[in-house]
Amino acid sequence: MKLGKNILAIVILIVLIFGLYYSGIFSSITASGQTYDQNSVTFQYPDDWQEAKSVAEGSVAAVADPNDSRTSIVIQQVPSEYGDDIQAACSNNNKLLAQYGNYISIQEVKTTVNNNTAIIHRYIINEADGSQKEHVATWIKMSDNKMYVLLLSTPVESYESVRSGYDLVVGTFKIKTNSNNSILDLFNN
């Protein structure tokens, strides 16, 4: 009887691993891509993307899909006037977004990473031209004690096809200091 339970547990584990792999969770974590390594940050991004210039306040890095100029990922250091913790910074940003009247919040997820809060906020902005852009912002305080936001911006219809690229950037994002803690490493700890 015990042997049957062990075999069943192994089969369930194998099915779960294949399910996670094919759903993209493992593939985005183990995927390789080009490496961005400037401005005290490093991360991987999809092979078919390119580095980009950003004029957003506090930008430290940006990458974009060269086949769609409307799709980019910008990494910004959060200005100190947003507050000194992730919840305050994200809340202040949400208030600013709500003032424009063209903002639709989809989901906000909070988690703890090494006793620091990380917030993932997904929302839509209705553009002046009638189009909609989907945004995913990951807010986190890193090992350098600074807060960062990693922001994906893409047309709503492109979100599913570029999400794995965003997962790759977020999963490999590191601050270049003596301790190399990526967001993925922090979640694993």
pLDDT at 17: 52
Query: Whole-angstrom Cα distance, residue 18 to residue 47?
Result: 24
More confident call, 74 vs 20: 74
Q: Is the pLDDT of residue 115 over 80?
A: no
Cβ 126 vs Cβ 132: under 8 Å: yes
Least confidently predicted of 48-52, 82-86, 165-169, 174-178: 174-178
Cβ 76 vs Cβ 57: under 8 Å: yes
Query: Which amino acid type is present at position 95?
Result: K
Kindly report the average pLDDT of the chain as a whole number: 81
Residue 31, helix vs strand vs coil: coil
The H-or-E segment that residue 14 falls in is helix 2-23
CA torsion angle for 8, 14, 17, 18 (degrees, to 10)? -120
Exposed / middle / buried, residue 11 (Cβ in 10 Å: 0-12, 13-18, 19+):
exposed
Query: Whole-angstrom Cα distance, residue 12 to residue 26?
Result: 17
Instruction: Express as a percent the part of the chain with pLDDT over 90.
Output: 44
pLDDT at 141: 87
Predicted model pTM? 0.75
Dig out the tokens for 76 from the structure: 């910004």
